[in-house]
Chain A
Amino acid sequence: MAQLMAYDADPNMNWNMVDTLGHDVKTFSDSGEALDYARENQVDIALLGGTEGIDLIRHLREISPQFKVVVFCDSPKIEEIRRALGLAPCSVLFKPVVVEELDACLKRALLKGKSTIKGSLKL
């Protein structure tokens, strides 16, 4: 059971599936609120949607250099995925959220003892 945070600038982004995984999820569509929450609370992994989500990574890493994130792309623009990989996300997934895809990612990312984030790839 992990503490998750989800952010997407689009308020209609559907994070409902994530509940079914048994983790605690707080959702945001305002980046300021999302960051405040991340600063003040224990967050194991942040689920970030879209380009704005990728932009948030830098700020989350200021809170903690090992802040784990999962990126959800609106559409598979290859340049965006290349950019995202330079920021060391746990995974890059597509929208809409497919819960089995996220589950596979979280299982690995939340392995006990794995306190460091995956490496980044400069592409």
Chain B
Amino acid sequence: MEAKELAAAKTTIQRFFATVFADEISAELYQAMKSDQFLMDLEAVSQKFYSKELAHGAMVLFEFMDRAGVDTYPQLRYAYADLFLNAGNNPVLPYESFYADREPITHGESLFLMRETLRKYGLHKDPNYWEPEDHIAVEFDFLSEMNRREASGDRAAGQARADFGKQHMAWRTEFCAVLHSADKSGFYQALAELTLGYLFVAHLSSVPPEEVAPQQPGADLIELARALKGTGPGVKSASAGEGIVSAQAGRRRPATFQDDPNPLLRLWRAVWNNGKS
């Protein structure tokens, strides 16, 4: 298959993941995932996948949505609040900053590197989306956009996306494991397995095909995209937008915060001042 076709498929897939992780599942998205068409497509592609993990992920999601009843949608909202809004005792902490050192502190170096990356490619995080830039949804959205560019012929975008994807693979894998472990609803567990399956297949697709045969990651990705298209993740991103918008304007520190270029001197001066005060 053509690189462009593959890129277009990944755009759809990554937009889907960006959407499901950016926010609670909307009523519209839920209806789309509950629709006969989607369920049929999902079941069908799960039989076609070369990757058995991807097949398993798709199957688990299919089974969940197939079983889902009237009470299920509210359960998804409660699960989202528990997992992503810290209402529960085992939150998933969907930020690269967390996984960098596995310490539950956000706004780490990953955030700033992500801002730099967005700026570099003329993108910005939607200011109305109040999560930090290293949220998994933003990273998926970024990848999706770069794939979209590649699909419309921008080869450099494709290279940039490939590099980014490989550098940011590991933490997203861990995110899936944490999500799977933390979720009690079954829905996010299913998403975790599907996402993990996708990450694995995406990983395989970055390796020369002969090394992974009989696996056919490219084919799997095309199929997955076909199934997910039914949920309608169109061109609009959940979290990122075109153009560069800087993060909050710099703030001035009080004048008495003496800015000494020599930190040792600053420390000495602080000690001296305290002896006198």
The answer to whether A and B belong to the same complex is: yes
Binding site for B on A (CB under 8 A): 75-78, 81-82, 85, 88, 91-94, 96, 98, 100-101, 104-105, 108, 118-121, 123
What are 22 contact pairs spanning A and B, CB under 8 A?
A: A76-B53, A76-B196, A78-B180, A78-B192, A78-B196, A81-B173, A81-B196, A82-B181, A85-B177, A93-B173, A94-B173, A94-B199, A94-B200, A96-B207, A98-B166, A98-B169, A98-B206, A98-B207, A100-B166, A100-B167, A105-B170, A118-B102
Closest Cβ of chain B to A71, distance in Å, is: 10
Closest Cβ of chain B to A16, distance in Å, is: 11
- Inter-chain contacts of A77 with B (CB < 8 A): 53
Scan B131-162; emit 1 where CB is below 8 A from any A CB, else 0: 00000000000000000000000000000000
- Inter-chain contacts of A88 with B (CB < 8 A): 102
User: CA separation between A96 and B211, bound complex, in Å?
Assistant: 8
Interface SS, B side: helix
- Say yes or no: A78 contacts B203, CB within 8 Å: no
In addition to A82-B181, A92-B174, 19 A-B residue pairs with Cβ atoms within 8 Å of each other are A75-B52, A75-B200, A76-B173, A76-B196, A76-B199, A76-B200, A78-B180, A81-B196, A93-B170, A93-B173, A94-B200, A96-B207, A98-B166, A98-B206, A100-B167, A118-B101, A118-B102, A119-B102, A121-B178
Q: Which residues in window 183-203 of B have CB below 8 A to A?
A: 192-193, 196-197, 199-200, 203
Interface SS, A side: mixed
- Say yes or no: A101 contacts B178, CB within 8 Å: no
- Say yes or no: B163 contacts A100, CB within 8 Å: yes
- Say yes or no: B197 contacts A104, CB within 8 Å: no
- Inter-chain contacts of A120 with B (CB < 8 A): 102
B100, B167, B177, B206: which contacts A123 (Cβ < 8 A)? B177
Query: Whose C-beta in chain B lies nearest to the C-beta of A88?
Result: B102
Please tell me the number of chain B residues within 8 Å of chain A, measured between CB atoms.
Answer: 32
- Say yes or no: B166 contacts A104, CB within 8 Å: yes
User: CA separation between A85 and B181, bound complex, in Å?
Assistant: 11
- Total contacts A-B at CB 8 Å: 78
Closest Cβ of chain B to A10, distance in Å, is: 15
Q: Is B176 an interface residue (CB 8 A)?
A: yes
- Inter-chain contacts of A76 with B (CB < 8 A): 53, 173, 196-197, 199-200
User: CA separation between A76 and B212, bound complex, in Å?
Assistant: 15
Q: Is B103 an interface residue (CB 8 A)?
A: yes
- Say yes or no: B166 contacts A119, CB within 8 Å: no
Given A75-B53, A93-B169, A93-B170: A98 and B203 within 8 A (CB)?
Answer: yes
- Say yes or no: B181 contacts A123, CB within 8 Å: yes
Instruction: Determine which residue in B53, B177, B182, B196 has the highest number of CB atoms from chain A within 10 A of its CB, and name it.
Output: B177
User: CA separation between A78 and B178, bound complex, in Å?
Assistant: 9
- Say yes or no: A81 contacts B176, CB within 8 Å: yes
- Inter-chain contacts of B192 with A (CB < 8 A): 78
- Inter-chain contacts of B203 with A (CB < 8 A): 94, 98, 101
User: CA separation between A46 and B179, bound complex, in Å?
Assistant: 27
- Inter-chain contacts of B163 with A (CB < 8 A): 100
User: CA separation between A118 and B197, bound complex, in Å?
Assistant: 25
